[in-house]
Each structure stands twice: as structure tokens, then as C-alpha cells.
Amino acid sequence: MGEIRNFRSGSHDDPPPNGRMSRRLAAIIVGDIASYSRLMQADEEGTHVRVKRIERDLIEPSIVEHHGSLVKTTGDGFIAIFDSPVEAVRCSIVIQQNLIGRNASLAKESRIEYRIGVNLGDVIVEPDDVYGDGVNIATRIEGIAEPGQVYISGAIYEQIKHKVVCGYEALGDRKVKNITDPVRIYRVLPDADAVGRTRGRRENVLIFLLGLTLLVIASGVLWYLLMQSHSPGEQAAAPPLPVPAASPTSQSAQAEPGSSTQTPQAAPAASPSTAAAPATSPSPVPTQSAMSVQEPEMVAIRGGSFAMGSNDDPTERPVHQVAIKPFAIGKYPVTVQQWNECAAAKACAFTAVGKDDAPITNASWTDAQQYAAFLAQATKKSYRLPSEAEWEYAARGGTQTKYWWGDKLQPGMAGCKDCGDAAAEQPAKVGSFKPNPFGLYDMGGGVDQWVEDCWHKTYQGAPNDGSAWSGGDCSSHVLRSGSWKNDSRYVRPSNRDGYDTNVRYPTHGFRVALSP
């Protein structure tokens, strides 16, 4: 994963120590536990252990994963710095969403919830400390934030507003302690569906204003025509048919070529008709049965037996023989276009952004289940997620080597951080790399892929018939494949990991399977 660099704890309002000072522009995260004193009073030792576990298992790995540096932990909080504002906000979202999953089964008064503030500023960095107004502002923003929320400064917002899959709620300018100028603050809405809601609110306002403008223009045109028809010395013309002001398209449709109603003044009323249409006569939302559904391309897999697992990692042991029944599995991971058909049918929770042929990302296990259920209902076929055993059997393609192509890494075989191509900000489109012997693409690298099974730390007690392992703690489920942001050891067919069932993460996607 990498190494966390820790800085010495110190007051960020104190003057810097003697010695050489280095300045840098950094995105700063400040996190603090809400109601920490109350939690410590209720269970001092238990709270301390839980906080340390969260720091070790969640906060520190998330900072490393997003290329940040841990400055310090403070008992009830932490400070971290990042080169990239995008990565800082993504890290903050991941921490908060993971905490939601961890807190789901706890009583409200027992939950450990962080307030997080993020700011972009020029800070002074010493070999063992970091301080400056940039850190102080992030601290003040954190103090304003609600438990479980991420608040960001306007400086961060301007850097990430078109780059992170989330929504934003503007909270206005706030005066914060010891900072001269007010700070513009936004609340991050991590649910990808919030993007649609915030955009929808803006679009509704624009449509309302456009409709109002059309009403004024159409009323003026109607008044002009009426005045013209009753002017002295001119032949009285029949008054024009009444036209609903909010539907200017009907006016142009009813006017005959050469008619006196087609005056130059009528043109402004008709020109924005396309933009105004959604406000006056919205198209009905298509029902699931009426929509065209693009079924994923499937590959039939003949049954067989194979040795599942490896000795490369404790989670992949013991190696055990598994019998697989015939099934079919997606030739590619589910794409953005396929997912958005589900979202348009109101059967999936959010609308994905990105190119149509890119794999869907930022999906939780629950999201993947929603898509499989939608596909099964729309096609009347038994679509589902593959079991972990089915996935590995298909990924190996009949081989038992470290990778499906052999024991050594080769360029052009998988999309990962050190697989031979330059590091990318997004996964490549599906099918960009060579298929395995079964004709399957991206069975290693690209995006992490959810499978049906609940997470177990080892294979001790795992089923040997290829079925999904559903017993145990199902608050986490299994991920396979590794992603474009992982190194090559993650793209091995035997590699496995677990992640919180209901938490979305930017590298997580899936593919579907089909029973005979």
C-alpha cells in the first residue's frame, strides 16, 4: 500500500522552529471525533481501543491509498496533507462512508463519528511538522462541520467541482476565528445521486425563468397582434387563436405559411421552444418494460474442477479443490451505459458519469445487486453476481500460473499501476487489454469487481461446489480483480479482498453471471 509519513505533533499557531523553512501548496484534511469527551466518559478504554483501530484500519490506509501524508493523530482527530485536492476529498468521502458502515449496527450514542474539514492553502513544512493559515482554516471548517459530514473551502471546491463524483451544497461565506477574510464553505454530498438532485434544482430554476420570459414575450406578441387587427383605416382581421403562453411551439405549428400571424415579432417567442418544452410537457418516465435493455455480452463457461487459492497471501489459503458447474459470465465488466439504463428505469440508485464504454465505478455491493435484479426482471433471465469460486475459475482461464498469461508480468495484459502503461486517472474502456483463454476481458486490473460471497479472512470452511459462501459476517463482501490504481500483485486471479457492503468506492465495479 505504501508508507505513511508522520509529522511531529505541535501547535499550528506557534511560530516555526529555527532552521530552514519550506513552503508548499497543499490540500489539508482535518478530522475530529464528535462528542469525544462523552464517549471517553462512558467507556474510556473501549473508546480508546476503537479509535486506534479506526486509525489503523481505515484512516491511515485511506490516506496512503490517496497519496497523502499523515501529519499527526491527536487522540480525538487527525491532520493529513495531499498534493491533490481531488485525492484529499476522495479520501475524506471514503473515510466517512466507511464509518457509516461501521456504525450501522451500533446505537447512536455509541457511534464514533468524525467531522472533516478540507482546505487548500500555502503551508510551511518542516521535516517533522506543518503549520500555517491553510491548516488553521481547515481546522475552523472542521469545527463548523456536522458529525459524519465533509465540509470544504471555496478554494477546494474550485479545484474539484468537475472532477469528483459527488454533489455540493453551498453554505455561503463564514467568518472564522483568527482569519481576516470570510471563508466560502461547501458541504460535500457523497451520494452520486446528489449530483442529479443538485443539477435538477438548478435546471428547474432556469426552466422557470425561461418559462416566465416566454410568457412575457408571448403576451407582448398577442397584444401587438390585437392592436394591429383593430388599427383605424385597416381591414379588421380575425383575432388570432389563443395560444398558451408556456407552449410557443403550438403557435408556430398552427400558423399557415403566409398567414398574417407570422410576424417578425413572433420569432423570439418560438426560438427557445426546445429549451422550454421540459417545463410545459415533460416526457413520461419510461417504464422498465418499455425501455430497451442492452444485455451484457456473455461467455459460456463449461464446468470443471480447479485448485482455488494460492500460498502467496494468508487470505488465499488453504488451496483447495473446487468443482464448478456450467454458467455464463460477462465478457466485460458492466459499463456506464448499461448501468445508466438501470438508473433511467429508477431501478439503480444513481446516474453514473463517464464514457459509455468505460466500466461502472463507485458502486457498492448493494448497487451491484440492484443492477443484477433489474437485468433479471427486464430480461426474464437469471442474472446475478458470480460466486467467488466462479470468478476465479473464469479468471484463470484453465491455467494455474501466477497470472493467466504466465508467472511473470507482461505489458498489455492488464490495467494496473505498474502493468506497463503510464498511471491513469480513470480506468481504460472495457476490452482495452488482451482477453484470457476463455475470451474474457479485464479479469485482473481495470476495476475491482464485486462477487456474491460474504467476506471471510481465509478459505477455512469454504464450500467446494462453486457456490457463494454466504455464512458469517456479511457486513463486508468479497472483491476480485484489483483496479487501475493497484499494483500488479492485485491482478493475480487468486487475489481477494473484502469491503463494506453498503459503501461506494471510486475503484469498485462488477460484472454479472448467468445461471443455465
284-288 average pLDDT score: 39
Q: Report the alpha-carbon distance of residue 415 to residue 361 in Å, rounded.
A: 15
Mean pLDDT of 370-393: 97
Predicted pLDDT of residue 247:
38
pLDDT value for 165:
67
| Percentage of residues of the chain with pLDDT beyond 90 | 55
Identify which has the larger pLDDT, 104 or 203.
104
Q: Is the pLDDT of residue 202 over 70?
A: no
Positive or negative torsion for Cα 46, 101, 92, 488: positive
d(CA 64, CA 72): 14
Domains by residue range for the chain, with CATH: 22-191 (3.30.70.1230), 200-230+244-252+261-283 (no CATH), 298-514 (3.90.1580.10)
* Strand 508-510 to 448-454 pairing: parallel
Which range has the worst mean pLDDT, 3-17, 324-338, 363-377?
3-17
Q: Is the pLDDT of residue 64 over 50?
A: yes
The crossing angle, in degrees rounded to 10, of helices 193-229 and 273-280 is 110
Question: Average pLDDT in the 240-258 region?
Answer: 37
**Residue 271: pLDDT above 60?**
no
Q: Calculate mean pLDDT across residues 51-56.
A: 93
162-178 residue pLDDT tens: 777 678 899 999 888 77
Identify the pLDDT of residue 261: 35
Cell of 391: 470468478
Specify whether the CB–CB gap between 357 and 339 falls below 8 A: no
User: In the predicted model, what is the mean pLDDT of the chain?
Assistant: 81
What are the pLDDT digits (tens) for 8-41? 334 444 444 455 568 889 999 999 999 999 999 9
Secondary structure, 3-state, 463-515: CCCCCCCCCCCCCEEEEECCCCCCCHHHHCCCCCEEEECCCCCCCEEECCEEC
- pLDDT given for residue 192 in this prediction: 46
Give the end-to-end CA distance of the chain in Å, rounded to a whole number. 40
Whether 237 has a pLDDT exceeding 70, the answer reads no
Q: Give the list of residues 6+ apart from residue 94 with CB closer than 8 angstroms, or none.
A: 62, 65, 66, 503, 505, 506
**pLDDT surpassing 60 at residue 285:** no
Q: What is the 3-state secondary structure (H, E, C) of 87-151?
A: HHHHHHHHHHHHHHHHHCCCCHHHCCCEEEEEEEEEEEEECCEEECHHHHHHHHHHHHCCCCCEE
Can you tell me the distance from the alpha carbon of 272 to that of 76, in angstroms, rounded to the nearest whole number? Answer: 56
Read off the pLDDT of residues 398-424 as tens digits, 9 standing for 90 and up. Answer: 999 999 999 998 888 999 888 876 556
Mean pLDDT confidence for 310-319: 93
Grade residue 142 by pLDDT with cuts at 50, 70 and 90.
Answer: very high
